[in-house]
Amino acid sequence: MTTHTPPTEHAEEIKDALRHIEEAERPDALTDQERERRASLEELRAKGVEPYAYGFERTRFSNEAIAMFDESNPDLHPSASVAGRIMGVRRMGKATFAHVQDEAGKIQIYFKSNDLGERYDLLRLLDIGDIIGANGFVFRTRTGEITLHVERFEILAKAIRPLPVVKEETDPVTGEKIVHDAFSDKELRYRQRYVDLVVNPEIRETFRTRAKIISSIRRFFDDRGYLEVETPVLQPIYGGAYARPFVTHHNALDFDLFLRIADELYLKRLVAGGLATGVYEIAKDFRNEGMDKNHSPEFTMAEIYIAYKDYEWMMAFTEELFVEVARVVGIHRGSAPIQFTPPFRRLSMYDSIKEYTGTDVSKMNEDELRITAKHMGVPLEAGSGVGKIIDEIFSAKVEHHLIEPTFITDYPLSMSPLAKSHRSQPGLVERFELYVNGQELANAFSELNDPLDQRARFEEQARLRSKGDEEAMVLDEDFLRAMEYGMPPMAGLGFGVDRLTMIMTGEESIRDVVLFPAMRPEKIR
RNA sequence: GAUCCCGUAGCUCAGUGGUAGAGCAUCUGACUUUUAAUCAGAGGGUCGAUGGUUCGAGCCCAUCCGGGAUCACCA
């Protein structure tokens, strides 16, 4: 983006940045290890060795190279080229062992002075963290580890900042892996995810699973003929959920825009336009709320809207979707893996409250509900109406019981301004949420397509907003206009991809399924 | 936003008022099948920041910065 910023506006920042650059480059600002590594770097160049290569001809991943060793023909010595990061070095004078880590794992490599001649002397300029390429032949050492005997090697990238050294040991009795000095500081792991991925390689599996989850969702939708679309992230009016938005500013047009909190209203416009029977989007939404292990200010949402279907149909679709995702990724981690075994339990909201509290709240008016909540020890906000009180009771008394996938159906109308009134139960809407592991995972309804009803619902929201409810929805006149032209009945579903990934990987914090979690800015030394 | 806990060497951590420590990493030396390699020696710190109490503060107090957990809000 090109901006024509007056030079004075950022003068202080620029001065700070320049000062920072100067200080960072002063030799006395470096640690001894950084100075050593920079000295090694210069020595390599002085010897005519360029420590930052343009590429390397790799023929095998570490696991493939190891697999080449033939137990029945140990003298075969198949050759291979591997590339990766040096994770440990054992120098023994004229022989050196090291482990090289790549995407697939680790392989031990063996350097021998006799074989490498003068180049063997370069090894003293190598450090843990350096990225090298090596080719040679595969053999088995005296102690039994399949190893690459190096015939040629190249330095592909010299590390001038020391990597945390994590050592692993195999317990001789149990055979279990013992990790020493694990890189465990959460702040450092999140801020420097590149380091975390290197020294805690098991977390790579989490992010590979995340990618699989997203691609399996996309495939599931695509296979059924639904169309992937992209709708605006920057919106003049935000809507589709209860949340406070982020605000940004468009310089050229000189007005404020909101970062979307949901995709819903734009996707429904597209169904109205007949773009496709079903449209979906898998993308980031942004909510300006508190953050904790279940909430991140930017998070990935999947939403799909399918014409001529209702929430009953969508429930079956949702069940099929999650069963399929679980099948594709496999559920391999976590202490209490959730089995996505169909059919999922279905329970109306009233029945769920009756089941877990013994109280039937379905016929109660606001005062009775208030008294009931008080008896149950459920704290209420002053302005809570019928729907809000029921929701509070549900959250406090029912939610955490719902471990195996459970559909909760038929919500109070006041909580759901975009959902269609229940066809047979007054005061309710046709809505379901899927609960897994005591958490809401998905939310869906028969979408409201009556423009007059929708307008009335927005107006009710406006009243809440004027009473100080900052999260109440904003009336979207263009969305209403689309509905007035005629919007087919449809079913809509939305779910958080991050939470789905948490469930599928057994991670307990959303920060552990997001590569770069939001953090306050740091001062980098 | 509130409460509690944490911040000491590159990493993981000891250190409850009296000369800042350990293991790994780093440096020097030895070692041609080691694997938490080993052995001998050495260097490395604004104890998150600022202010205060004290003869004396890593330690006690206050404020601030950063992180974690719980709660609130939300998905």
State how far the Cα of A204 lies from the Cα of A193, in Å rounded to an integer: 10
Span A388-433, pLDDT tens digits = 889 889 988 899 899 899 999 999 998 899 999 999 999 999 999 9
Three-state SS annotation for A461-478? HHHHHHCCCCCCCCCCHH
Q: In chain A, pLDDT over 90 holds for what percent of residues?
A: 70
Cβ neighbors of A32 (< 8 A, separation 6 or more) are none
β strands within A382-476, DSSP E: 406-412, 428-436, 439-446
Nearest nucleotide by C1' from A33 CA?
B26
Q: Is A9's pLDDT higher than 80?
A: no
Q: Given pLDDT bands bounded at 50, 70 and 90, which one contains residue A154?
A: very high
Identify the bridge partners of residue A82 per DSSP, sorted by sequence position: A134
**Residues of chain A (482-501) having a beta carbon less than 7 angstroms from strand B:** 496, 498-499
**A158/A389 Cα distance (integer angstroms):** 61
State whether the beta carbon of A268 lies below 7 angstroms from any atom of strand B. no
The answer to whether strand B lies under 7 Å from the CB of residue A139 is yes
* Number of helices (H), then strands (E), in chain A: 15, 18
| The nucleotide closest to A143 (CA, C1' atoms) | B33
Mean pLDDT, chain A, rounded, equals 90
Q: What is the pLDDT of residue A470?
A: 78
Q: Taking 50 as the threshold, does the pLDDT of residue A7 lie above it?
A: no
A3 Cβ partners below 8 Å, 6+ apart?
A: A251
The predicted pLDDT at position A4 comes to 43
The pLDDT of residue A6 is 42
Q: Is the confidence at residue A23, as pLDDT, over 60? A: no
Q: Which nucleotide is nearest to A301 (CA to C1')?
A: B75
CA A248 – CA A246 distance, rounded (Å): 7
Q: Distance between CA atoms of A178 and A217, rounded to whole angstroms?
A: 37
A293 touches strand B (CB under 7 A): yes
ipTM: 0.91
Tell me which of A8-22, A177-191, A369-383 is least confident: A8-22
A177 pLDDT higher than 90: no
Q: What is the mean pLDDT of residues A194-201?
A: 94
pLDDT at position A386, please? 84
Q: Which residue in this structure is represented by tokens 């069963």?
A: A323
Q: If pLDDT is split at 50, 70 and 90, which confidence band does A27 have?
A: low
Output the distance from A181 CA to B14 C1' rounded to whole Å.
14
Q: Does residue A422 approach strand B to less than 7 Å at its CB?
A: no
User: Distance, angstroms, CA A186 to C1' B20?
Assistant: 26
Residues 6+ apart with CB under 8 A from A405: A319, A322, A338, A340, A344, A345, A434, A435, A436, A441
**Strand B contacted by A179 CB (< 7 A):** no
| Helix/strand/coil for A445 | strand
pLDDT in tens, A61-77: 999 999 999 989 888 89
Cβ A254 to strand B below 7 Å? no
Which A residues 23-42 have CB within 7 Å of strand B? 31-33, 36, 40
pLDDT at residue number A374: 84
What is the predicted pLDDT for the residue at A8?
46
- pLDDT score of A26: 55
Residue of A400, A407, A399 lying closest to A322 (CA atoms): A407
What is residue A281's predicted lDDT score, i.e. its pLDDT?
98
Q: How far is CA A178 from CA A85, A97, A99, in A?
A: 21, 20, 17
Nucleotide nearest to A495 (CA to C1'): B75
What pLDDT, on the 0 to 100 scale, is given for residue A14? Answer: 55
Contacts (Cβ under 8 Å, ≥6 apart) of A426:
none
The CA distance from A352 to A373, in Å, is: 15
Pairwise CA distance, residues A196 & A354, whole Å:
47
Q: Which positions of strand B lie within 7 Å of protein CB atoms?
A: 1, 9-13, 23-28, 30-38, 43-44, 65-75
Report pLDDT digits (tens) over A450-477: 999 999 999 998 888 887 777 888 999 9
SS (H, E, C) A161-199: CCCCCCEEEECCCCCCEEEECCCCCHHHHHHCHHHHHHH
- In angstroms, the CA of A10 and the C1' of B3 are apart by 38
Which A residues between 299 and 328 have a beta carbon under 7 A from any strand B atom?
299
pLDDT digits (tens, 9 = 90+) for A303-338: 999 999 999 999 999 999 999 999 998 865 444 568
Q: What pLDDT does A447 receive?
A: 97
CB of A400 under 7 A from strand B?
no
Alpha-carbon distance of A10 to A291, in angstroms, equals: 30
A95 Cβ within 7 A of any nucleic strand B atom: yes
Residues with Cβ within 8 Å of A347's Cβ and at least 6 positions away in sequence, in order, are A355, A406, A407, A408, A409
Buried b (16+ CB within 10 A) or exposed e, A210-241: bebbbebbeebbeeeebeeeebeeebeebbbb
Q: Which nucleotide is nearest to A187 (CA to C1')?
A: B67
Asked if residue A170 keeps its beta carbon closer than 7 A to nucleic acid strand B, the reply is: yes
Å between CA of A124 and C1' of B9: 23
The whole-angstrom separation of Cα A321 and Cα A326 is 9
A172: CB within 7 A of chain B nucleic strand: no
Interatomic CA–C1' length for residue A494 and nucleotide B18, angstroms: 64
When pLDDT is averaged across residues A502-521 and rounded to a whole number, the result is: 91
pTM, 2 dp:
0.91
pLDDT of residue A449 exceeding 80, the answer is: yes
Does at least one atom of strand B sit less than 7 Å from the CB of A509?
Answer: yes
A432 Cβ nearer than 7 Å to chain B strand: no
pLDDT band at A30 (very low <50, low <70, confident <90, very high): confident
